[in-house]
Amino acid sequence: MAHTMNDVARLAGVSPATVSRVLSDSPYISAATVRRVRAAVEKLRYHRNAHARRLAIGKSDLFGLVISEIANPFFPEIISGFQAMAWDRGFDVLLLNTEYNEKRTASAIRKLIENSVRGVAIMTSSLRDDVIPVLTRQGIGVITCNPVPVGRLVSNVTIDYKRGLVQAIEHVAALGHRRAAVIAGPQTNRTASAIQRVLVQGLRTFGLDPSPVTNSTYHLDAGAAAIRVILAARVTPTVIFCGSDLIAMGAMMALEEARIRVPEDMSVVGLDDIPFSFLVRPALTTIRVPRQRLGETSFEALETLLKLKRQQGAACTVETELVIRKSTAPVR
């Protein structure tokens, strides 16, 4: 038989309100009372009814986190950072992924509203900006990694890719490279397009006019098609900049099949510093995105937004930096 909060209160000799405060970790209760209530909870194996609690207080203990795809190694550290911050404060996380699919995206937004989440972090560029007003009209705070204006119930976290990209360009220029190619992420992805613009502009500034510039999906096998385009170019580059580590790894595999050695014949630079990047051979020179910190920063900014009286959003930034490993070397 499932026990109620009233059963716990009777066994502990306190009021149901006291039980509720103990289970909510209220600081204004004596240690002896907390021990009695916790002992009664354990003896009765009592679990709070989240739905009933939501009805009672008018809001849930849930925060939402929306990502592109669970299989992409870019996201686990973001999830870990966001979830750890939520759990430390007694909240749970509703994790949803869009798989770059409009129907799944619409379903994700519906689930966020149906579960009355307090706030949501949108860590995907595949979500259109016009869904943000749909959430804020329901009183749901939003933080997004997309470059949208901040406002009431809307904050923004920006990844400063430019810093790490400039470091990477300076690094290969110092190694004597003067001919670069670019395999950017999908053209339909706003973050990928922004990175491509900054990278191409930076290469031109340093005299490494990129050619060719191609695009790829974020999958290992997609880099191979881009490598065929690069190797067929009139002038072969000596370094390839990739829009993600997965693209870089796929490119390295395709170069190996073409009997082109990395880094002796061709240097390769990735982006993200996913856990596999130092396990490939040669270990990948890449631009580190502090994804754990990105998840933590997103929750902190969301929590701050919801605590403000006017709930006016703000912009925050996380920095990137170059990690030099073995996939880049001086031009022969």
Upstream peptide bond of 263 is cis (omega within 30 degrees of 0): yes
Q: Quick one: CATH architecture of 5-48?
A: Orthogonal Bundle (1.10)
Same fold, 5-48 and 161-289: no
Mean pLDDT of the 101-128 span: 88
DSSP letter assigned to residue 284? P
Range list of β-strands (E), the chain:
62-67, 92-97, 119-122, 141-144, 154-160, 180-184, 213-215, 239-242, 267-269, 286-288, 315-319, 321-323
CATH 1.20.210.10, domain 58-159+291-317, yes or no: no
Instruction: Specify the pLDDT at position 28.
Output: 75
Mean pLDDT of the 300-313 span: 92
Which of 22-31, 60-69, 120-129, 271-280 is the least confident region?
Answer: 22-31
pLDDT band at 156 (very low <50, low <70, confident <90, very high): very high
> Across the chain, what does the average pLDDT equal?
90
Instruction: Specify the pLDDT at position 86.
Output: 92
* Phi, psi angle pair for 59, to nearest 5°: -155, 160
pLDDT (tens digit per residue) in 199-252: 999 999 999 989 999 999 888 787 788 998 999 988 899 999 999 999 999 999
pLDDT (tens digit per residue) in 158-186: 999 999 999 999 999 999 999 999 999 99
Mean pLDDT of the 142-150 span: 88
CATH superfamily of 161-289: Response regulator (3.40.50.2300)
Domain coordinates of the chain in residue numbers? 5-48, 58-159+291-317, 161-289
Contacts of 205 (CB under 8 A, 6+ apart): 169
